[in-house]
Chains A and B, each alone.
Chain A
């Protein structure tokens, strides 16, 4: 396994490693601005309390990583060498797809759980309503106490 990686790494060594640097200054600024805006947007959501802690942490980490890659795209080169990918942007695409896939699966899981819970709540509400409103409910129930005096 290590030899395979080694071979691939050496193969990638023979290619010009400045693919990433080939991006124009304008392009890099555009990417940096977009990622900075994304990060600011996430920060705003966090500050307003719209994101639960775990998701806030997740997206802040993602935003920070995006800013990092935008400022220092060169860090992708050694990563590419290590895993045997010679076209560095592919590292971004691969990890982004894998990450987003996991996130969406996780959301499906959370959504199923939430649907179960809201369903249970709705059912309990129906039962409570019957207790409160229906005098014919056969089991004993508390009568609303008279509170005047």
Chain B
């Protein structure tokens, strides 16, 4: 390997108005993984997110307007694919994720998984509180996922994930745009035949910034999500499957 090749690992950090929390996150990552590259996708922030990200040594991809986390992530996946990264970790800009937990995700990739999801809830993880409605909805999602994807996930919406090259290429084309895209993406990747595993992680409560869960908004998005999942369920034609069969050669 020459030094000109890409770093062995890329951190993909979607950020929307995170100028307060982002510097700390970047410092933590730089301390823990000095050999990794970091790309921050500034999702149309009104504050100085891009400035603090550059100051923190990250490459900044500035979206011209707010696309939502799905758009920001797909931008990051495209960046990873075009620059030849073999592995990437999706990391939160608001300090929810522990850098210490990254090796657990990477170990999952080492063990042959194409995507590893850090779960807050598997094996009775303590310490992460969610609202009642969200908890109930998450339970329903787990069951739905078991039914139509044939696999158990305890934390379908976790945004703490590690990706191998094949799934980076898959997501660079197909990563969904709408809110709670993480669930949709988890589903579509399992449906497309990728090996996806879950590992238990601990997460911190959100450091700064308000969580985006207004009740009715949440209800609407869960309903929308179910329609999307059902539309992609076995028996219906899926855009993702077609794309995969056209562009993927991995097992």
CB distance from A66 to the nearest CB of B (A): 36
A117 to B43, CA, bound (A): 17
Assess whether B177 is in contact with A126, with CB atoms less than 8 Å apart.
no
Known A116-B177, A119-B177, A123-B74; judge A130-B67 contact (CB<8 A). Answer: no
Shortest B194–chain A CB gap in Å is 22
Which residues from chain B contact A116 at a C-beta distance below 8 Å? Answer: 177
Query: Are A119 and B67 CB-contacts (below 8 A) given A126-B41, A129-B61, A134-B60?
Result: yes
B59–A136 touching, CB < 8 Å: yes
Name A127's contact: one of B6, B37, B71, B78 (CB within 8 Å). B78
1/0 per residue, CB under 8 A from A, across B90-114: the answer is 0000000000000000000000000
B64 within 8 A of A: yes
Q: Which of B7, B64, B65 has the most CB of A within 10 A?
A: B64
Q: Chain A 65-89, CB within 8 Å of chain B: the 1/0 string?
A: 0000000000000000000000000
Chain A contact residues, majority secondary structure: helix
Q: Which residues of B contact A136 (CB under 8 A)?
A: 59
Q: Per-position contact with A for B45-69: 1 when CB-CB < 8 Å, else 0?
A: 0000000001000011111110100
In the bound complex, residues from chain B placing their C-beta under 8 Å from that of A124 are 78
Q: Which residues of A contact B177 (CB under 8 A)?
A: 115-116, 119
Interface residue total, chain B, C-beta cutoff 8 A: 22
Given A116-B177, A130-B59, A138-B37, does the pair A122, B82 have CB atoms closer than 8 Å?
A: no
Interface status of A125 (Cβ within 8 A of chain B): yes
Number of interface residues of A (CB under 8 A): 16
B37, A123: Cβ atoms under 8 Å?
A: no
Contact check, B59 vs A122: say whether CB atoms are below 8 A apart.
no
Which of A115, A126, A136, A137 has the most CB atoms of chain B within a 10 A radius of its CB? A126
CA distance A127 to B177 in the complex (A): 17
Query: Any chain B CB within 8 A of the CB of A139?
Result: yes
Which residues of B are found within 8 Å of A129, using beta-carbon distances? 61-62
- In the complex, residue of chain A having the shortest beta-carbon distance to the beta carbon of B44: A122
| Contact between chains at B71 and A122 (CB < 8 Å) | yes
With A116-B177, A119-B177, A139-B83 known as contacts, the answer to whether A127 contacts B75 (CB < 8 A) is yes
Provide the residues of chain A in CB contact with B78, threshold 8 Å: 123-124, 127
**A138-B6 contact, Cβ under 8 Å, with A115-B177, A116-B177, A126-B41:** yes
CB distance from B105 to the nearest CB of A (A): 22
Q: Is the beta-carbon distance between A122 and B61 smaller than 8 angstroms?
A: no
Contact pick for A123, options B7, B60, B75, B83, CB 8 Å: B75
B79 CB-CB contact with A under 8 Å: yes
A106-149: which residues lie under 8 A (CB-CB) from chain B?
A: 115-116, 119, 122-127, 129-130, 134, 136-139
A125's partner among B41, B63, B74 (CB-CB below 8 A) is B63
Is the pair B82, A125 in contact by a Cβ cutoff of 8 Å? Answer: no
Bound Cα distance from A137 to B6, whole angstroms: 10
B59 touching A123, Cβ below 8 Å: no
Judging by beta carbons under 8 Å apart, are B61 and A126 in contact?
Answer: yes
Q: How far apart sit A138 and B63, CA to CA, in the bound complex (Å)?
A: 19
Knowing that A122-B64, A123-B75 touch, tell me 10 more A-B residue pairs with CB under 8 angstroms.
A119-B71, A119-B177, A122-B71, A123-B63, A126-B62, A126-B75, A127-B61, A134-B59, A138-B83, A139-B84
A–B Cβ pairs within 8 angstroms, 10 of them: A122-B67, A122-B71, A125-B64, A126-B64, A129-B62, A130-B60, A134-B60, A138-B6, A138-B83, A139-B6
* Partner-B contacts on A (CB < 8 A): 115-116, 119, 122-127, 129-130, 134, 136-139
Closest 6 CB pairs of A and B: A126-B61, A123-B75, A126-B63, A139-B83, A130-B61, A126-B75
